[in-house]
Structure 1
Amino acid sequence: MNARQLGLMGLALLTGATDLLIKGLGLALAGLPVLAVFGLLLPLLRRHLQDTGYWFGAMLLAALLTSLASLLLQAGAFELHRALGPYLYLLVLPCLQLAAMDSTAAGGLRAGLVFTLLALLLGTLREALGHASLFAHFDWLLGPVVLGWRLQFGADGIPLFALAPGAFILLGTLMALWRQLTTKTADS
């Protein structure tokens, strides 16, 4: 399996779990440190392990870091951890994508920042378009102090955007927009 196939499998995490901004924030809070630390430790694995041992070590390290992030999120924000469910453990896939790409330590931080940006952007857009609200369930992370912070835009949103197909539509639109912006910049 190559890095591109792992990256496509990693989309399951972003499309499945970012129907609310708070879930995107939870993924970002877990994903950024996991990917950054994995990127820092990956050169050590590469230096000391070969072939099968390297892949076994990368999978073990990814599983360890993901489990640690899950436990920390469970201890600090149980309701958010419960809402993310098994999606949190899919953080292993972007880690394995980093291992397949032979990235540097900076690559882990860069991947973590891109993942964070995508999780927050998809969470914001999907909640705004799919639920016609923002900041729903922020009490899962910040406690009962923020219980009334929900911003409602109207009666209903477009339910398609709250589902996985809507996430793919938004992701495709964002990728096309990004390509259009970067192509225009390169032509200028």
Structure 2
Amino acid sequence: MSQRVLFTADTHFGHQNIIRFCNRPFRDIDEHDEVLIANWNAAVQPGDVVWHLGDFGYRGDNARLAKNFDRLNGVKNLIIGNHDRPFVREKLPWNSVEHMADIVVDGRRLILSHYAMRVWPAMRRGVYMLFGHSHTNLAGNAQSCDVGVDAFQYRPVTLDEIRAHLDTLPPITFSDRDDEVFEPEVIPAPIDPNELDSDHGDGWKL
């Protein structure tokens, strides 16, 4: 059985003001953190892989952030967000720490970044672009969405859940080129990540 892979962003552990800024339904930061940890562990098994797309925690109580990190299930990878200070990036035992990642899950190529992109590699071939940072304030499209906790019931989500959400969003249009609405080519599974080259074969050298 292959490892399950899940995605999340913008947990903002230890950030009292995030409750007010994002209208999160918690009395205080203690309740906030406890609910997010419980939701995470209900969704993620110890052997699962989690990609956290940035803003894991807020500056201040490093001991609190370390304790929260240790309580979270899964093999955890960080895509650095603007609030991820050196302690989060360098002292917490992440499996990997990147500014951006280009991965394949279940035969689908994914571009992962804390910040949303308007264009990304091989987007015309159906590649997904997953992001955080916007706290649901930036509309997605049929190939790109916010995977932060504000968008998905304060928990990590699987690619199947993301696909179901993307199916409800409008398709990409290229009005700056030909105003064409296109049906993306789905990359068949399995795919060898080593076969992905810098040209991507779609005329977009990004």
Please tell me the TM-score bracket, short chain as reference. Answer: under 0.3
Question: TM-score, structure 1 length as denominator?
Answer: 0.26
**Could you say which structure has the higher helix fraction?**
1
Question: TM-score, structure 2 length as denominator?
Answer: 0.24
**Could you say which structure has the higher strand fraction?**
2
Greater RCO structure (CA 8 Å; 6+ sep):
1
